[in-house]
Amino acid sequence: MTNETSGEKFDLIAIGRACIDLNATEYNRPMEETMTFTKYVGGSPANIAIGSAKLGLKTGFIGKIADDQHGRFIRGYMEKAGIDVSGMVVDQEGHKTGLAFTEIKSPDECSILMYRDDVADLYLQPEEVDEEYIRRANKLVVSGTALAQSPSREAVLKAVHLAKKNGVEIVFELDYRPYTWKSAEETAVYYSLVAQQADIVIGTRDEYDIMENAVGGSNERTTEALFKHAPRIAVIKHGVEGSYAYTREGGTYRAQAYKTKVLKTFGAGDSYASAFLYALVQGKDLETALKYGSASASIVVSRHSSSDAMPAVDEIEALIADQPVLHS
């Protein structure tokens, strides 16, 4: 850490993976017929950091990147986006950057071909998580995928421990991806452990089911269980049917999805989280924060990338002002 930054405070620090998306340049076809791919920064916590920084939040990032051209591209891009990258560690053991080749057959048929074996981000070590850095944050944004494997798992558990100890608010973005996890039970163990210590939990209904190792869970049961522990807000997203925020005090809020011309479904969750957190930091009420999240998500799904496409504040606010909601 340089002297210049040592006193700086962050609205949020995200911890977890920063990867490369290789998006089909020619889309609306099977990937077998795509001959060129365009490179973007990707990975849920990196996208949230980029989205937040673009909205004007002071943002930091903790993660491990490969010591190669892809790793350097990621750090350079995030730095240019205004993110403090002093918490990013360069891998020294030859691990590679995670890759996501996206296939866009149609707006409804998107899939991702993942390269996640032994990728650098999963090798972040607990000793590389610095208490002084974390205490400079107002919020720590934890991505569930970073819990999928050791030592990244322990690095994140340590970060959560240090955040609690130093009064830093913990935001847990469930961000569940089946690869890397060994079993449903294993996932549920670590998701529960972190959710119980978080202040704000954000995820889709399906992701909460994963956390509970259950099928067809209900928002009522989920929030009842969560509010026995640390959480004060739980955001549960139900796709085109909109999203809900629940508070420990018993409040329930709902936002509807905004109409948009969908190009692909990737990146919706990350843009949602960054705009929602931006609104909270600005002191907006929960109902408004949900609208920011929804609007931001519908902008990103209409565009080609997940990171580069993150909207500015005025785009989000214009959409909220002008557009009718999808379901009344």
Which span (1-9, 98-106, 200-208, 239-247) binds a second copy, by CB under 8 A?
Answer: 98-106
Residues 192-221 that bind a second copy (CB under 8 A): 192-193
Using CB under 8 A, pick the residue from 54, 58, 136, 158 that binds a second copy.
158
Distance of closest approach, residue 186 Cβ to a second copy, in angstroms = 5
6 lines the binding site for a second copy (CB under 8 A) = no
Q: What is the dihedral of CA 205, 242, 280, 200, to 10 degrees?
A: -10
157 lines the binding site for a second copy (CB under 8 A) = yes
For residue 52, how many other CB atoms are within 10 A of its CB? Answer: 29
Residue type at 211?
Answer: M
118 lines the binding site for a second copy (CB under 8 A) = yes
Distance of closest approach, residue 190 Cβ to a second copy, in angstroms = 8
Q: Which is nearer to a second copy, 135 or 161 (CB)?
A: 161
Among residues 240, 258, 236, 239, which one has the least CA distance to residue 320?
Answer: 258
What residues contact residue 147 under an 8 Å CB cut-off, 6+ apart?
Answer: 153, 156, 157, 190, 191, 194
115 lines the binding site for a second copy (CB under 8 A) = yes
| Pairing assessment for the beta strands 99-106 and 109-115 based on DSSP bridges | antiparallel
Which span (154-162, 260-268, 275-283, 310-318) binds a second copy, by CB under 8 A?
Answer: 154-162
CA distance 312 to 56: 9
Residues 39-68 that bind a second copy (CB under 8 A): 39, 68
For residue 80, how many other CB atoms are within 10 A of its CB? Answer: 10
Q: Which is nearer to a second copy, 68 or 169 (CB)?
A: 68
Distance of closest approach, residue 211 Cβ to a second copy, in angstroms = 12
Residue type at 174?
Answer: L
CA 17 to chain centre: 9
182 lines the binding site for a second copy (CB under 8 A) = yes
25 lines the binding site for a second copy (CB under 8 A) = yes
Q: Is the dihedral of CA 222, 224, 226, 231 positive or negative?
A: positive
154 lines the binding site for a second copy (CB under 8 A) = yes
Buried b (16+ CB within 10 A) or exposed e, 158-197: bbbebbbeeebbbbbbbbbbeebbeeeeebbebbbebbeb
Using CB under 8 A, pick the residue from 161, 177, 232, 238 that binds a second copy.
161
79 lines the binding site for a second copy (CB under 8 A) = no
Query: Residue holding tokens 């939040």?
Result: 57
Residues 224-283 that bind a second copy (CB under 8 A): none
Q: Which is nearer to a second copy, 194 or 279 (CB)?
A: 194
126 lines the binding site for a second copy (CB under 8 A) = yes
CA distance 98 to 1: 26
130 lines the binding site for a second copy (CB under 8 A) = no
Residue ranges binding a second copy (CB under 8 A): 22, 25, 30-32, 34-39, 68-70, 72-73, 76, 96, 99, 101, 103, 113, 115, 117-118, 125-127, 150-151, 154, 157-158, 161, 182-183, 185-186, 188-190, 192-193
